[in-house]
Amino acid sequence: MSFPAIMVLLVAVTGLIWLLDRLLWAPKREKDIDEPVVVEYARSFFPIILLVLVIRSFIAEPFRIPSSSMVPTLHIGDFILVNKFAYGIRLPVLHSKIVDTGEPERGDVIVFRYPKKPKDQDKPDVDYIKRVVGLPGDRVGYFGKTIYLNGEPVGQEVLAVDEQALPGYFETRFEHLGDDGHYIVVDSDKRPLEGEMVVPEGHYFVMGDNRDNSNDSRYWGTVPEENLVGKAFLIWMSWDWNAGGIVWNRIGQSID
């Protein structure tokens, strides 16, 4: 059972116990008799659990970065916050959109549920994080480590070889995608998967910033709108065992 499902269940159980006590049991209880322990716990924990559920479901949710697919933007051990209302307010567990608040823009870093359904599950529930490259209707190509949008190459500037960020021969580049652009890394010795496709309506083409080490839309296709979780916007904690623990200079960085 997923964490949101557990939270919804706890809210329902504690809320029901508290309500039944207020309506049925408390009026019949003698004044000098203490309320049952289960009622006391339900009354105490219900508002706390409800508040956590509301914040995580509709405002912001924390995530931990488990892989290097978004280097140099995000590192393994980064803990980030995701804006849950950027692309619509959705019901927890059901993921049904109840209020439309916006759509992803090219260049956004998004969290989404992996669109391929696992064999042993009814719905995909594995969260991925990537950058939006193609919007619905775009013709997206990737050739020679360069993105092509509707036939036009996305500009890049080669900045440096970054031996510290990752082992091997990696170039750091600045890519002019979206309004502000962002940094990416490419492995000059690795041949990427190349090709072109048109993004279907209601879908998004996503890629990792670590272009030659990312499992993304080049391999498994586009992300449907109903799989969106939210927009990543802040690193609130970063932990690196090799660096001795907390990486202080990454805390508080915005995600662009």
Residues 90 and 162 reside in one and the same domain? yes
Reply yes or no on whether 130 is catalytic. yes
Find, among 149, 155, 214, the residue nearest to 182 by Cα: 155
Residues 92 and 42 reside in one and the same domain? no
Q: Among the options 84, 130, 145, 231, which is catalytic?
A: 130
* pLDDT in the model for residue 123: 47
Residues 22 and 85 reside in one and the same domain? no
Q: Among the options 68, 69, 214, 238, which is catalytic?
A: 69
What is the model's pTM?
Answer: 0.89
* pLDDT in the model for residue 41: 95
Reply yes or no on whether 145 is catalytic. no
Question: Which residue among 43, 58, 73 closes a domain?
Answer: 58
Contacts of 215 (CB under 8 A, 6+ apart): 69, 208
* pLDDT in the model for residue 189: 84
Residues 13 and 82 reside in one and the same domain? no
CATH code of 211's domain: 2.10.109.10
Helices 37-58 and 3-20 sit at what angle, rounded to 10 degrees?
A: 140
Which domain covers residue 116, as residue numbers?
Answer: 61-250
Residues 129 and 150 reside in one and the same domain? yes
Taking the C-alpha atoms of residue 249 and residue 253, their distance in angstroms, rounded to an integer, is 8
Contact 203, 136 (CB under 8 A): yes
* pLDDT in the model for residue 168: 55
Residue 255: inside a domain = no
* pLDDT in the model for residue 116: 78
* pLDDT in the model for residue 31: 79
* pLDDT in the model for residue 211: 95
Residues 20 and 117 reside in one and the same domain? no
Taking the C-alpha atoms of residue 77 and residue 45, their distance in angstroms, rounded to an integer, is 31
**Tally of CB atoms within 10 A around 240:** 14
* pLDDT in the model for residue 163: 56
Residues 46 and 74 reside in one and the same domain? no
In terms of C-beta density within 10 A (0-12 exposed, 13-18 middle, 19 or more buried), how is residue 177 classed? buried
Residues 50 and 161 reside in one and the same domain? no
Find, among 224, 233, 185, 227, the residue nearest to 63 by Cα: 233
Q: Which residues in the chain land under pLDDT 70?
A: 117-125, 160-169
Contact 203, 186 (CB under 8 A): no
Amino acid at residue number 255? I
